[in-house]
Each structure stands twice: as C-alpha cells, then as structure tokens.
Amino acid sequence: MVNVHKAKTHFSRLLERAHAGEEVIIAKNGKPYARLCPLEEPEPRQPGLLDGKIGPEFFEPLPEAELEVWES
C-alpha cells in the first residue's frame, strides 16, 4: 500500500511494478482508495466470425425524419 504523495512522486515506478504483475494499492488518509494492476492482453479480433451479410439497403440514404433525429 502506497500513500497518494508517494504514488505521485514514484508513479512511473509504480506503473512498472503493476505492469510486471504486482498489484499496488494507493491509500488516501491511510485507507485504500485505488488499485493499480496489470491489464490482461486482449485477444486478437478475428473478422468474419459472425454469419450474415450487409444487403444493398444498408447503403441507401436514410429517410429525412431519421436524419433529423441523428442531426439534432
């Protein structure tokens, strides 16, 4: 657990520790306030996993009434 002042002073070091897998708790007035922890690597996206196709109607202009709703 690290107090806010120390966390501000050593933020880069704390980020490196969190990135290395350590969980860092930041305290305010001696009470846990926030947590720095490593992010999980996102899984790579693979296009084409869902069935379906876009029909030609997708490319048709929107009706005026709907355009007004989007533009307001």
pLDDT of residue 27: 97
pTM for the model: 0.55
* Residue 30 domain boundaries: 1-39
41 residue type, one letter:
E
Predicted confidence at residue 69, as pLDDT, reads 92
Q: How many CB atoms lie within 10 A of CB 7?
A: 20
Would you list the DSSP string of 2-41?
Answer: EEHHHHHHTHHHHHHHHHTT--EEEEETTEEEEEE-PPPP
DSSP structure class, residue 28: E
In a domain, 67, yes or no: no
Q: How far apart are CA 30 and CA 33, in angstroms?
A: 9
What are the tens digits of pLDDT across the range 2-58?
999 999 999 999 999 999 999 999 999 999 999 999 988 888 888 877 788 888 998
48 in a domain, yes or no?
A: no
pLDDT at 13: 96
Note whether residue 12 is domain-resident.
yes
What's the CATH number where 4 sits? 3.40.1620
